[in-house]
Amino acid sequence: MTHKIFRLVTSLIFALAITFAGVTPARAVGPWYVSTTGDDNNNCLSPGTPCGTINGAIGKATDGDTINVAKGTYTGTGFEVVYLDKDATLAGGWDASFTAQSGMSILDGQGERRGISSITSNVTIFADHFTIQHGFASSGGGIGISNFGTLILSNSIVANSTASNGGGIAFAGSLTLNDSTVRDNIASNGGGGIWNLNGALTLNNSTISGNTTGEGGGGIKDDGFMTILNNSTVSGNTASGNGGGINYGSNTLILNNSSVGGNTAGGMGGGLGSDSTGGIVTLQNTILSGNTSGIGPDCSGIIGSSGYNLIGNNSDCTFTSTTGDLVGTSIDPINPRWGSLQDNGGSTFTHALQTGSPAIDAGNPAAPGSGGNACLATDQRGIARPQGPCCDIGAFELEATGGVKEVTIDIKPGSQSNPINPRGSGKIPVAILSTLDFDAPSEVDKATLTFGRTGDEISLLSCNRKGEDVNGDGLLDLVCHFKTKLTGFQIGDTEGFLKGQTLEGVSIEGRDSVRILK
């Protein structure tokens, strides 16, 4: 009996051993936490026990986990600061308590290594609130993605990095930039900012600026199969070869509500240029102006249009214009009248349209956001379109101000005392004077003008179609005539007032002295 019991117990122990031998202990599930004050020996599962490096958290994570990274500067010791071999979401910019995502986490390559690398096939990475800087690699100094990986980078900056190709970013797969900036990177060969080696690139509300390359594509070198820019700005990039802003290949390039200006090429196409043929380039609601090159200052090659673009100078560029296109030439270039690249609100720098810009209200009249060739619903900064009768061309929508613009008026130009007989049956000329940043004949909505003792009197008769320089400053002023009996002037009045609006819906007011005759 004892022998049988012993055999039974032994059999049970053996069976249990076999059973538990095949069981893998459960791994912890994130989110994971990283801080410059952490330690990779921690469990990294709480704000109080964070890892000290992002790679330390990645090593503990499983596919699809989220890794929260506190503000601070992170460096590395190998070929990159961060190496991703699995699907992950990297959420940077958290405060020390991980209660607010209020800043940026810095990945600093220290001029010796890349910021982010991923060479594992088909990895998908979401990253936001990072500054990736001072990277160095043979390709993709800041970020390198290969083997058809996917990176969605949001609210981030890639800057001051260096590589032979793709000073800021090099990728073969899929790259989407949302509300991000790629600036001041250098490539000795191609793609100062971004090199699309073999993939799909999408820019949403992003800016590519100040990048430099020794060959083609100061901002972007596009050797992939698809590149789309929505509400994005390419500005101030330089290429020794072709395509100061974008060097497009034999692929598809689409620019929608985007702005390309201030780029320089040593070869062809200061704004858009190519090293090959067969590419399909389409612009819609886009500004391409103010670029520099010996051949094709704004563009070279064949550029298609879906309407409502502003091309500053079409020299050496085959641009087939269609509905709504404004096309300048070498003899008569079009100045978009925009400001320098700067912070105009939003998360990225833009070129703000100035008063009198031909791009204002010149976009597609279809409802913004309705699809097709219509303008996008908001501009690069998130401002709703339209702010006027129609949306503006380019990445920037000029906002209608709720205040009043003061304008200078001259009642009865050429007269010193401006005498007015309120009982007279004639008319009173009033000039609205132009300034360097205000072109009265083209900007004032003439039908809205009122003039008289309070400025609310509906007394307009007509306005001259062509401007007239009434004060000899070389600028054409707007001269309108108002019916005297409708102006309401009375004995004792010493000033006359004019009110109205610009075509952008901005209220204007002006005043000048008068002498009322008895």
Fold observed for domain 404-516 = Immunoglobulin-like (2.60.40)
Q: How confident is the model at residue 456 (pLDDT cuts 50, 70, 90)?
A: very high
Helices (H), 131-237: none
Model confidence pLDDT, tens digit, residues 210-262: 999 999 999 999 999 899 999 999 999 999 999 999 999 888 999 999 999 99
Q: How confident is the model at residue 516 (pLDDT cuts 50, 70, 90)?
A: very high
366-394 exposure pattern, b = at least 16 Cβ within 10 A, e = fewer: bebeeeebbbbebbbbeeebbbbebbbbb
Q: Decide if 281 contacts 253 (C-beta within 8 A).
A: yes
Q: Is beta strand 136-139 parallel, antiparallel or unpaired with respect to 181-183? A: unpaired
CATH placement of domain 32-334: 2.160.20
Those residues whose C-beta lies under 8 Å from the C-beta of residue 423, and which sit 6 or more positions away, are: 485
Is the model's pLDDT at 496 over the cut of 70? yes
User: Rounded distance, CA 74 to CA 127, Å?
Assistant: 15
Determine what percent of the chain is predicted with pLDDT higher than 90: 81
User: Rounded distance, CA 479 to CA 476, Å?
Assistant: 9
Report which of residues 4 and 64 the model is more confident about.
Answer: 64
List the end-to-end C-alpha distance of the chain, in Å, as a whole number.
Answer: 138
Q: Where in the chain is the domain with CATH 2.160.20?
A: 32-334
Is the model's pLDDT at 95 over the cut of 60? yes
Average pLDDT, the chain: 91
Is the model's pLDDT at 392 over the cut of 90? yes
Model confidence pLDDT, tens digit, residues 277-326: 888 999 999 999 999 999 999 999 999 999 999 999 999 999 999 999 99
Q: Decide if 54 contacts 84 (C-beta within 8 A).
A: no
User: Rounded distance, CA 230 to CA 368, Å?
Assistant: 13
Q: Where in the chain is the domain with CATH 2.60.40?
A: 404-516
Phi, psi of 9 (to 5 degrees): -65, -40
Does the pTM surpass 0.85? The reply is no
What pLDDT is recorded for position 417?
Answer: 87
Model confidence pLDDT, tens digit, residues 462-477: 999 889 999 999 999 9
User: Rounded distance, CA 291 to CA 272, Å?
Assistant: 9
User: Rounded distance, CA 394 to CA 380, Å?
Assistant: 9
What pLDDT is recorded for position 12?
Answer: 35
Lowest mean pLDDT among 23-37, 189-203, 213-227: 23-37
Model confidence pLDDT, tens digit, residues 46-90: 999 999 999 999 999 999 999 999 999 999 999 999 999 999 999
What pLDDT is recorded for position 28?
Answer: 66
What pLDDT is recorded for position 355?
Answer: 73
What pLDDT is recorded for position 386?
Answer: 92
